[in-house]
Amino acid sequence: MFQICTQKKTILSVEDIISLIGNKCDGVIGQLTEDWGETLFSALSRAGGKAFSNMAVGYNNVDVNAANKYGVAVGNTPGVLTETTAELAASLSLSAARRIVEADNFMRAGLYDGWLPHLFVGNLLKGQTVGVIGAGRIGSAYARMMVEGFKMNLIYYDLYQATRLEKFVTAYGQFLKANGEQPVTWKRASSMEEVLREADVISLHPILDKTTYHLINKERLAMMKKEAILVNCSRGPVIHEVALVEHLKANPMFRVGLDVFEDEPYMKPGLADMKNAIVVPHIASASKWTREGMATLAALNVLGKIKGYPVWSDTNRVEPFLDEKSRPPAACPSIVNSKSLGLPVSKL
Ligand code: GLV
């Protein structure tokens, strides 16, 4: 039997979830706003549960060690958020560069009384440098959009080499050159600071863990160009938000596009008053296709584990689970602790 939570609360507390789990529960689909740690995994295990799936690709809200302790499989939903999230990062980059939100507010306030040469002058992206911190699936998709769409040069920082991305930028540069245009270039930075110093637009795409908490702090903000644009569609605590507010106040030409916040759903004091900040409520994955895909993958993770299916072998290739015209493969699409739990891998 499936049970859908119909509570009016947006964010459920640990106590709310314990009472929803009750005495018998085989598995749970949860959200990134919930704190899945020792307490919830032990409650789920006591109720007979063996599976949990976050309806998100990121799972910094889940204590995977606690899940391992209780033998609970933890699912996530990769592969369906990549382009949608990258498109929001690109939207925030463009909106900040061209001051779209400020200009929209100005129009609605009835302040427009005629064209002026200096009205809402912003930055031309073509020929500028886009910096990507974390060039995984989403970071690379964003980089390609900015390079291909706006002919920006790329500088990126990642512990791993983004070979496919580098090849793409090289080939695109050659294509532009062959057409008599200025070629685009790429560089893999040896430090994050190099990206911060050189890029005109910087987008953050790391996972949130101890090493990336407050990655962007007062000192690192000070390294960035005075007119730089910073975009964050990863997780709020990657930026020290209080330091960011101070930086925005001191540098009116510095602009930021934020989808995530340090203490969601709240913003740090002063952020909402900053004209050089664009703020949206954690909607990076909010396209209809992606949200349906996330829901499907989360459900199949839990259902697959309950049915005893093996785990899918390649979490980058989840399309077979999304085809409405055929039955999904008999596998769990993405279980992040499958190795720790010794779960079998599908041969499909
Ligand atoms: C959204 O933020 C996600 O991680 O899926």
Q: Could you tell me if residue 186 is inside a domain?
A: yes
**Separation of CA 285 and ligand 1 centre (Å):** 7
Lowest mean pLDDT among 6-15, 46-55, 79-88, 252-261: 6-15
Residues 113 and 242 in one domain: yes
46 and 109 in one domain?
Answer: no
pLDDT for the residue numbered 64: 98
Residue 9 lies in a domain: no
Q: Could you tell me if 259 and 294 lie in one domain? A: no
Do 52 and 188 have their domain in common?
no
Indicate if the pLDDT at residue 332 is higher than 90. yes
Residue 5 belongs to a domain? no
- How far is CA 156 from its chain centroid? 17
**pLDDT beyond 90 at 25:** yes
- 201 Cα: distance to centroid of ligand 1 (angstroms): 22
Say whether both 146 and 32 belong to one domain.
Answer: no
Total structural domains within the chain: 2
- Domain membership flag for residue 346: no
Indicate which residue's Cα is closest to atom 5 of ligand 1: 56
**Overall average pLDDT of the 320-346 stretch:** 96
The ligand 1 atom at the shortest distance from the C-alpha of residue 56 is 5
Pocket of ligand 1 (CB under 6 A): 32, 56-58, 81, 285
> pLDDT at residue 247 above 90?
yes
CB 108 within 8 A of CB 177: no
Domain coverage including residue 335: 14-80+287-341
- Whether residue 262 lies inside any domain: the answer is yes
Report pLDDT for 311: 98
For residues 99 and 92, is the Cβ–Cβ distance under 8 A?
no
Residue pointed to by tokens 């001191």: 250
- Mean of all residue pLDDT scores within the chain: 97
SS (H, E, C) 3-63: CCCCCCCCCCCHHHHHHHHCCCCCEEEECCCCCECHHHHHHHHHCCCCEEEECCCCCCCEC
Provide DSSP, 49-101: --EEEESSS--TTB-HHHHHHTT-EEE--TTSSHHHHHHHHHHHHHHHHTTHH
Summarize pLDDT for 58-90 with one digit per residue, the tens: 999 999 999 999 999 999 999 999 999 999 999
Confidence of residue 166 (pLDDT cuts 50, 70, 90): very high
If asked whether residues 91 and 229 sit together in one domain, one would say yes
pLDDT of 326 reads 94
* 132 and 28 within one domain: no
* CATH code at position 39: 3.40.50.720
